[in-house]
Structure 1
Amino acid sequence: MCGIYGTTLPYSQELVRQKLERTQFRGPDQMGVASYDTSKGLVTFGHNRLSIIDLDARSNQPFAYQNKVHLVFNGEIYNFGEIRDVLKKKGYGFTTSSDTEVICAAYLEYGKDCVQHFNGMFAFVIYDIKKQVLFGAKDRLGQKPFYYQLSKKGIEFASQISSIQLGNTNLSINKNAIEQYLAWNTIPHPYSIFNEVKKLEDGHAFTYDIQTQDFNQWAYWDIAHPTAPAFGGTYEEAKIQLESLLTDAVQHRMIADVPLGVFLSGGVDSSLIAALAVKSSEKKVKTFSVKFNEKGFDESLYAQKVADHLRTDHHVIDCDYKEGMDLITNFSHYYDEPFADASAIPSMLLAKHTKKKVTVALSGDGADEAFLGYHRYARIDEMHKYFRASYATRLLISKLLKLSPKTRHKAIGEILGSKNDSYAYLTALYRPNEIWLQGRDNPMDFTELKYLMHDQNNLHERAGDFDLKTYLSWDINTKVDRATMAYSLEARSPFLDYRVVEMARSLPTTFKYQQGNQKRILKDILYDHVPASYFDRPKAGFGMPFVVWFRNDLKDMVLSELSLENLKDIPGIKPKMAQKIIQEHMNGTWNHYPVIWKLLVLKQWLDNNGKGYSIK
């Protein structure tokens, strides 16, 4: 887990080092810079290393292999040992025990198809000396970030956009990206906050010809669309096969030359990962959870109960208000694009204190999308009852509900007015007529809609696919990467092993969701390790007590930062309507903390980054 950087632009070594220093928190163990002569000038690679596998300096990057390729790499290839064994039989030699060297050898053997052999989370770029090309790729499910800018002068890429931004005078703020952020809490791929900088999409690879400056990218993997191959066995057979696959995914992610632990919230997903880690480890497993003092936000007792049953070395992290304030103040330094998932703050707090004990932590991310765990999937059944009525009837009810002064009624009205269940699900995620948004551009204009807008599968499956390609990719992976890397901690998620995702999508819906029983098959696997009674409670999210803080401890800060004058400087909103939303929250008539947090984050980013840039 590291931070990478590279360019063909004629930047000075001093500026390149400044770009690396900007995100040195991603890899504080070693900083490396190397330049290579080409007929068109220099190719410069930079790397901030967080040492996980083969801690020796011989595995530092930029990495050279056989005087044929150079590499910068962020992430982990979990099956590197198996690949190395195959390559050894083909005559390749290795001087390290790292996955870094295996990537280089695999590229020489398989060319661009090397990515098909990798099981991991990664973003890397190889400089092929003979072909005079850069070859890069991003992992299948998009766990590792990759930003790039193309211009007539060359290419520049980095793990975080702030490295590209530093010393770059040819950038402008993307107005449409701000409106997408206001709709979705994050900026969808392939866009970024700057018009000139793009994100490489999940499961994509590219080549950049140094001589011609031609840039070509392609998808090397995607979820099967519109339907996946069907699992042909029984439920019990699926349960046995899935547990075996998950166990293998956990074991591969426990390979490390540094201390390792598990994030344990006490929910189904993290408890299953912890249980399989305990089963796979000869040592006592360390587990970590967060505790909030505010009523309704403290899940630590549930985590402690699971930890006691599994006999882990459990650590509970108390959320201190002042520490939370410090994280809020410095938020944009680590999330260097606007990002409004409020659970990023407790994620950062968890990472900060977990790092004191371990350098790698396993997480339960990815299970909800693949195994239909979100609350909104359960509401699909209820929604279908309303959609039995004719479209004309639903339109009439929709118009009446929209006349109600209550926000909830208006929201239901928007959903009922949708022309089909796909649009109803989309409208439930994002209400297009939010009164405080200007809404000049279409926030639903992205290619991932194809995973939702077809009729080849039921809405539960389509919604899961859509969320896998959007919410997981744009939001969850961004949150986890930035929160953990802010404190030089590597997070690994066994549920995001592409083999697990592919199997999940092959299972009949009833194996995952049956009569309101969500993540059915995961629960049944878990209950073989931890008593089912421990989980007899509603699903909880990983949230912050902002609803309380914004009305009390943070009230003065919110009202000052989001005064009417300051709101007028925020693009994409109607200032007076936004002020009304804030007032409704403060007087307790409605919980609008997500809107307030979204506006605070955007204002902070604009204050710290927006000066001197045009918005277009």
Structure 2
Amino acid sequence: MCGIAGIIGNGIQESEVEEMLLSIAHRGPDARGIYKDKGFAVLGHNRLSIIDLSHEADQPLTDPTGRYHLSFNGEIYNYQELRREIGARYTFRTSSDTEVLLASYILYGKSCLKRLNGMFAFAIWDSKEKKLFAARDRFGVKPFYYSNISNKFLFASEIKAIRYVKSVGPNESVWANYFCFGSYGSPSETFYKDINQLPGGHFIEYENSTLSIDKWYDFAEQIGNIPNNFSTAQIKEKYRELLIDSIKLRFRADVEVGFNISGGIDSSLLLALVNDYNSSKRTRAFTFYTGAERYDELPWVESMIRQTGNPLEKVKFSAVEVPEYAKLLSDGQEEPFGGIPTIAYSKIFKMANQARLKVLMDGQGMDEQWAGYDYYNSQHDSVVQGTGNSSSFKPNVLKSDFANLAKKSEYPTPFNSRLQNSQYRDLFYTKLPRALRFNDRISMSYSTELREPFLDYRLVELAFSIPDNMKINGKTHKYLLREIIKEFVPNKISEAPKRALQTPQREWLGKDLVAFVNESFANLESSVFQSWFDHDMIQKEWEQYKNGSKANSFFIWQWINTSLIASDIQKTT
């Protein structure tokens, strides 16, 4: 896991790439390297050493001929199998997955992508053809941002690296959609003008100042190729096999691996599988709690841990910590992020870093592939879990000219099933992309790699392809998954409903954090974004919130979050 950066084009200053790398030094504190093809390209890399800890595996990595140069962020989990397949056709000098990726590209070209099981964003410079090839993994676990203006192509793992050398303003239409509809942008957009992201499952080719972007992973096509004549027993058996193999692949590391756990069925399954695979050594577990009985999952976690004996690091997060952590997280995210549960989650990585743990696993991805969210069982098009019929947004606080920029997103519907189309939206456009962005920035802010075994593409494709009634049966979500995991976890866990909230955000904002909210709103009124809002209306909504039922706090968090991002922008301009 690392940070990548580079500039392709005329008039490149190596110092600019050095500055880009310094801005994302947290992503890779173990080594830093730069490759320069004078007058054409500069590639940079910050390394977090996970596989092959020797300096021979530092990047940018060059092949034996000196033609190809790779800057890579992520992990290729099946690198050992690929290396055996490549055999003597390439002369390996390291035992790293990085060199296997480079060799795969040299031998197979862009078709190498379909052979990779992993999370990745990488760039390869061909110094002979003067051509850049870059790609992102199927679901976009690892980030790839770029800017292509004035015959100069910049790319990086984080927006701030590009902003460090290029001044950009806000993408107002994306912001307006965020306030009106809760959208975090399309897979190719960011909240900044002139900075885009490469969508998951796509690759870039850049040559002679010409940029082309193509899709290499067609999910709908893959689903169409899966036979639909499997029996329930066969599906269960195949899914179990893939679960076990996915865990095995993600334990490949030359450093210690730990994991995050909550009280839900996903992370409880992860706990069981981790211990099944790593039975000779109890893997360290991390969880957060707030001390609020209504929200905490700690009793569920402790119930599981008592049976397994894993060392458990219980990380308490309190209301008084919110302002400090919110500011830190905002600096790292640079775009809107989830509320106080996301902030509390970040403290886990701080503790893991202090414990010198470089790799954690978590249970992200099950809800999207198995239809776990409550709104999948309804006819409305909500993308916010657990809000019921309450309004998540307050567009009435926006100035009309700004609000008019908002346009509700329309998503592709490549399947005949309404449920599958909702899942597809969440996998590639809404829920998963934003969760992966939150998680990447949080983990890498503390120089920690986050692995998500349930996002193995083989698992996602199989679960997605099964009939709707195997995912939702009556009011039971993740129906067949619950049946599959009964052999791994107790019934009281496998049958537990999904709990949407893990912190008392609603109560804290209206009581413990009133001073923080007031300060945020005051800052917003004098910020670079102040002209977007009717600030008197914000105060009116705030008073109603404090004196009302507090059924939904999402819009309160939106305004706080925007204030924090505005402060960060003002610091860096």
Corresponding residue for 1:443?
407
* C-alpha distance 213-25 of structure 1, shift in aligned 2 (>3 A): same
* C-alpha distance 429-443 of structure 1, shift in aligned 2 (>3 A): farther
- Aligned residue runs from structure 1 range 105-254, under 5 A: 105-169=103-167, 171-182=168-179, 183-184=181-182, 186-209=184-207, 212-224=208-220, 228=224, 229-254=226-251
Cα separation, 1, equivalents of 2:391 and 2:46: 38
TM-score by length of 1: 0.86
Cα separation, 2, equivalents of 1:430 and 1:96: 55
Structure 1 residue aligned with 2:458, among 455, 479, 499? 499
Corresponding residue for 1:71?
70
- Aligned residue runs from structure 1 range 517-528, under 5 A: 517-528=476-487
* C-alpha distance 17-433 of structure 1, shift in aligned 2 (>3 A): closer
Cα separation, 2, equivalents of 1:600 and 1:431: 14
Corresponding residue for 1:313?
311
Corresponding residue for 1:264?
261
Corresponding residue for 1:404?
none
- Aligned residue runs from structure 1 range 502-513, under 5 A: 502-513=461-472
- Aligned residue runs from structure 1 range 573-592, under 5 A: 573-592=533-552
**1:432-469 superposed Cα distances (whole Å, 9 cap, x missing partner):** 884334431343235xx113xx6x52322221111111
Give 3-state SS (helix, strand or coil) of 1:562's partner. Answer: helix
Unaligned runs of 5+ in 1: 384-414, 416-420
- Aligned residue runs from structure 1 range 479-490, under 5 A: 479-490=438-449
Cα separation, 1, equivalents of 2:209 and 2:317: 50
Cα separation, 1, equivalents of 2:173 and 2:3: 28
2:183–2:430 Cα contact (<8 Å) kept: no
Amino acid of the structure 1 residue aligned with 2:6? G
1:566 offset after TM fit, Å? 4.3
Range with bigger deviation, 339-348 or 120-129: 339-348
Give 3-state SS (helix, strand or coil) of 1:364's partner. Answer: coil
Corresponding residue for 1:373?
372
1:276 offset after TM fit, Å? 1.1
- Answering whether residue 22 of structure 2 is matched by residue 61 of structure 1, we say no
Corresponding residue for 1:354?
352
Corresponding residue for 1:395?
none
Unaligned runs of 5+ in 2: none
Corresponding residue for 1:87?
86
* C-alpha distance 539-214 of structure 1, shift in aligned 2 (>3 A): same
1:230–1:507 Cα contact (<8 Å) kept: no
Range with bigger deviation, 539-548 or 357-366: 539-548
Q: How many residues align?
A: 562
Amino acid of the structure 2 residue aligned with 1:436? V
Cα separation, 2, equivalents of 1:53 and 1:472: 30
* C-alpha distance 569-126 of structure 1, shift in aligned 2 (>3 A): closer
- Aligned residue runs from structure 1 range 371-450, under 5 A: 371-378=370-377, 380=378, 383=379, 434-437=395-398, 438=400, 439-445=403-409, 449-450=411-412
1:545 offset after TM fit, Å? 2.3
2:28–2:447 Cα contact (<8 Å) kept: yes
1:591 offset after TM fit, Å? 3.5
Amino acid of the structure 1 residue aligned with 2:558? K
Cα separation, 2, equivalents of 1:593 and 1:433: 11
**1:552-609 superposed Cα distances (whole Å, 9 cap, x missing partner):** 2220121232148448943544433322221112123434421111111111111221
* C-alpha distance 371-434 of structure 1, shift in aligned 2 (>3 A): same
Cα separation, 2, equivalents of 1:423 and 1:277: 31
- Answering whether residue 563 of structure 2 is matched by residue 603 of structure 1, we say yes
Cα separation, 1, equivalents of 2:101 and 2:230: 36
1:581–1:592 Cα contact (<8 Å) kept: no
**1:302-341 superposed Cα distances (whole Å, 9 cap, x missing partner):** 0111122233222211114444332112222111223344
* C-alpha distance 433-301 of structure 1, shift in aligned 2 (>3 A): closer
- Answering whether residue 475 of structure 2 is matched by residue 474 of structure 1, we say no
Indicate the percent of aligned positions where both proteins have the same amino acid.
Answer: 30
Corresponding residue for 1:390?
none
TM-score by length of 2: 0.92
* C-alpha distance 501-525 of structure 1, shift in aligned 2 (>3 A): same
Corresponding residue for 2:473?
514
Deviant stretches of 4+, over 6 Å: 421-425, 427-433
* C-alpha distance 230-305 of structure 1, shift in aligned 2 (>3 A): same
Range with bigger deviation, 515-524 or 260-269: 515-524
Corresponding residue for 1:2?
2
Cα separation, 1, equivalents of 2:572 and 2:48: 34
Corresponding residue for 1:396?
none
1:265 offset after TM fit, Å? 0.3
1:178–1:572 Cα contact (<8 Å) kept: no
Amino acid of the structure 1 residue aligned with 2:546? M
Which protein is bigger by CA-based radius of gyration? 1
Give 3-state SS (helix, strand or coil) of 2:306's partner. Answer: helix
